[in-house]
Amino acid sequence: MLTIGSLGKKTGTKVQTIRYYEQIGLMPEPGRTEGGQRRYGDAEVDRLSFIRHSRQLGFPLEAIRELLDLSDNPDRSCHEADSIARRQLKQVELRMDRLKALRTELKRMIHECSGGNTADCKVLEVLRDHSECLTDHDEIGA
C-alpha cells in the first residue's frame, strides 16, 4: 500500500495533482487509513501512469477520460481510441507548423538586430510593423 507521496514519486506526479485528478473523477477515491490518509494499490499506479503518459503526449484530460473509458471496456471497438489518437496527431502537426513560422520570423528579427539603442531596434520595429508578417493565424500562443 502506497501513500499519496510515494505514488507521486513513482509516477512523476505532484501530490496536489493526484488529488486534483481524484476531484475531477479521473482517479477513483482510494481507500483510507484510520486516520484518513489515502492509500493506493497497483491498479492506481497503472491508471495514473496511463494518465501521465497520455498527458505527456498532449492529450487533454477529456480525451484521457474517454481513453480510460475505452480501456475499461475491452470489447468495444479500437476505432474510437484510434480516432482520438489521430485527432491528437493532427493537433500536434498543426502546432508544429505554426511554431515553424514563428521561429522563422523570430530568427529574422533577431538576426537583423545590430545593437545600439531602441530607437532603431529591429526587434521592436518588426513587432511594430505587421505588414511583413508571415503569420496571420487567428489562434495564438502556440
Partner DNA sequence: CTTGAACCTCTAGCAACTAGAACATTTAGA
Partner DNA sequence: TCTAAATGTTCTAGTTGCTAGAGGTTCAAG
In the complex, which residues of this chain contact DNA (CB under 7 A)?
Answer: 3-6, 8, 14-17, 19-20, 33-38, 55, 60-62, 140-141
Q: What minimum distance in Å lies between the beta carbon of 91 and a copy of itself?
A: 9
Q: What minimum distance in Å lies between the beta carbon of 78 and a copy of itself?
A: 4
How far, in Å, are 12, 53, 75, 123, 127 from residue 60 at the CA level? Answer: 18, 11, 24, 35, 32
Residue 39 or 81: the one with the smaller Cβ distance to a copy of itself is 81
Residue 32 or 41: the one with the smaller Cβ distance to a copy of itself is 41
Q: What minimum distance in Å lies between the beta carbon of 36 and a copy of itself?
A: 30
Q: How far apart are CA 57 and CA 91, in angstroms?
A: 11
Q: How far apart are CA 92 and CA 88, in angstroms?
A: 6
b/e code 46-70 from CB counts within 10 Å (16+ = b): ebbeebbebeeeebeeebbbebeeb
Residue 77 or 83: the one with the smaller Cβ distance to DNA is 83
Q: Which does 103 bind (CB under 5 to 8 A by kind): DNA, a copy of itself, none?
A: a copy of itself
Q: Which does 87 bind (CB under 5 to 8 A by kind): DNA, a copy of itself, none?
A: none
Rg (CA), the chain: 23
